[in-house]
Amino acid sequence: MTVKVLFSARAELWPEYRPLLSKGLLDAGLDFDLATEIPPEKVDYVVYAPNGGLSDFRPFGRLKAVLSLWAGVESITDNETLNVPLARMVDHGLTEGMTEWVVGHALRYHLGMDKHITSQDGTWIPEAPPLASQRRILILGLGALGESAARALAALNFKVMGWSRTQKNIPGIKSLSGTKDLKQALSQAEIVVLLLPETPATENILDTQSLALLPQGAKIINPGRGPLIDDDALLAALNSGQVGHATLDVFRTEPLPPDHPYWKHPNVTVTPHIASETRPVTAAQVICENIRRGERGEPFLHLVDRDLGY
């Protein structure tokens, strides 16, 4: 039987994904129809991105699964018209990119690079930075992205603490969970990296109270999602010096409005949601593997728990 796969993402992605998905489905031995337009009642799988324009799944009577091209699924988890399995994207290429971005920004802070890049005024202060083994970094979220970043930082000898909903056993990482652990970890963290999903339980995880626990001058790196941070609380902490600097890639409103105080703040670096992205070559393999599994009656990979919201 022909498997009907609807590609519902930004139109400009189609020329790149089309041959990759076609090859993957062929390699999986499937007879398929892959298109950007298929009558909804005939669709078996939707390859989905939130900006593809699809939000009402009611007409999709024989849908078997929705396969997200995005790792973050906060915009679809509470969609009541969706009653089939939802898989999120765990893509090797996306993970690699995020790890590089996090390590780069952590090293910027650790080595104090700005001091030398922005000020070449003839002052000679020969102070070498400490070793990574003397620097404590806390990663909030030890999932596909957080674990990879944590491992890379640990490989550089940083003292890495990781906090997640469930306890992990990852060599070289101090794994923590629960509110008490979080408070303790925050009180020691010189650099905090946010790689949590956006859910009701994680919103404003960095607020006035939690920011106050950090050692004075701590640095924040947020490639997770904007709502993980209470923006007013962060701005106040930056203004008081409680937080030394923040590198923010994600925001409650994107693009970040031109008049937002983050743009002008001397101790904030704004990056335009580029920490990483789904890479078509590797992502297409993940999508095709899930369609193959669906057709063989095997469990899907990377299923979202709609109750937990990630």
List the one residue from 195, 214, 233, 234 that touches ligand NDP (CB under 6 A). 195
Cβ closest to ligand NDP, residue 34 vs residue 280: 280
Nearer to ligand NDP, 33 or 96 (CB): 96
Nearer to ligand NDP, 165 or 265 (CB): 165
Going 201 to 203 to 206 to 209, the CA torsion angle's sign is negative
Q: Which amino acid is at 147?
A: E
| Cβ-proximal residues to 174 (8 Å cutoff; 6+ apart), any chain | 159, 160, 161, 162
Distance, CA of 157 to CA of 160 (rounded, Å) = 8
Binding of ligand NDP at residue 71 (CB under 6 A)?
A: yes
For ligand NDP, the binding residue among 72, 85, 93, 129 (CB under 6 A) is 72
Element (H, E) at 270: strand 268-270
**Known catalytic residues?**
225, 273
Is residue 132 a contact point for ligand NDP (CB under 6 A)? no
Q: Does 221 engage in binding with ligand NDP (CB under 6 A)?
A: no
Measured distance CA(205)–CA(189) in Å, rounded: 15
| Residue 225 sits in the site that holds ligand NDP (CB under 6 A) | yes
**Which one of 1-9, 35-43, 160-168, 236-244 is the stretch in contact with ligand NDP (CB under 6 A)?**
160-168
First CA to last CA distance, the chain: 32
166 in contact with ligand NDP (CB under 6 A): yes
With CB under 6 A as the contact rule, which of the stretches 9-17, 118-126, 159-167, 183-191 interacts with ligand NDP?
159-167
For the CB of residue 72, give the shortest distance to ligand NDP in the complex, in Å: 3
- Best CA proximity match to 270, nearest among 237, 246, 243: 246
Residues 80-119 binding ligand NDP (CB under 6 A) are: 90, 94, 98
Q: Rounded to the nearest whole angstrom, what is the least distance from the CB of residue 278 to ligand NDP in the complex?
A: 8
CA nearest neighbour of 107 among 138, 132, 134, 136: 132
Report yes or no: 226 and 250 within 8 Å, Cβ to Cβ.
yes
When asked if residue 146 is in the footprint of ligand NDP (CB under 6 A), the reply is yes
Q: In this structure, are strands 136-140 and 86-87 parallel, antiparallel, or unpaired? A: unpaired
CB nearer ligand NDP, residue 98 or residue 218:
98
Q: Does 201 bind ligand NDP (CB under 6 A)?
A: yes
Q: Per CB under 6 A, does 306 bind ligand NDP?
A: no
Query: Under the criterion CB under 6 A, does residue 197 sit at the interface with ligand NDP?
Result: yes
Q: With binding defined as CB under 6 A, does residue 50 bind ligand NDP? A: no
Question: With binding defined as CB under 6 A, does residue 186 bind ligand NDP?
Answer: no
DSSP 2: P
- Site for ligand NDP (CB under 6 A): how many residues? 30
The amino acid at residue 82 is L
- For strands 159-163 and 86-87, give the pairing: unpaired
The answer to the question of residue 142 lying near ligand NDP (CB under 6 A) is yes
SS (H, E, C) 50-106: HHHCCCCCCCCCCCCEEEECCCCCCCCCCCCCCCCCEECCCCHHHHHHHHHHHHHHH
Phi-psi domain of 285 (left: phi exceeds 0; alpha: psi -120 through 50; beta: other)? alpha
CB of 274 to ligand NDP, least distance (A): 6
Give the other-Cβ count within 10 Å of 247's Cβ: 23
What does the binding site for ligand NDP look like in residue numbers (CB under 6 A)? 71-72, 90, 94, 98, 141-146, 164-166, 195-199, 201-202, 223-225, 249-250, 273, 275-276, 310
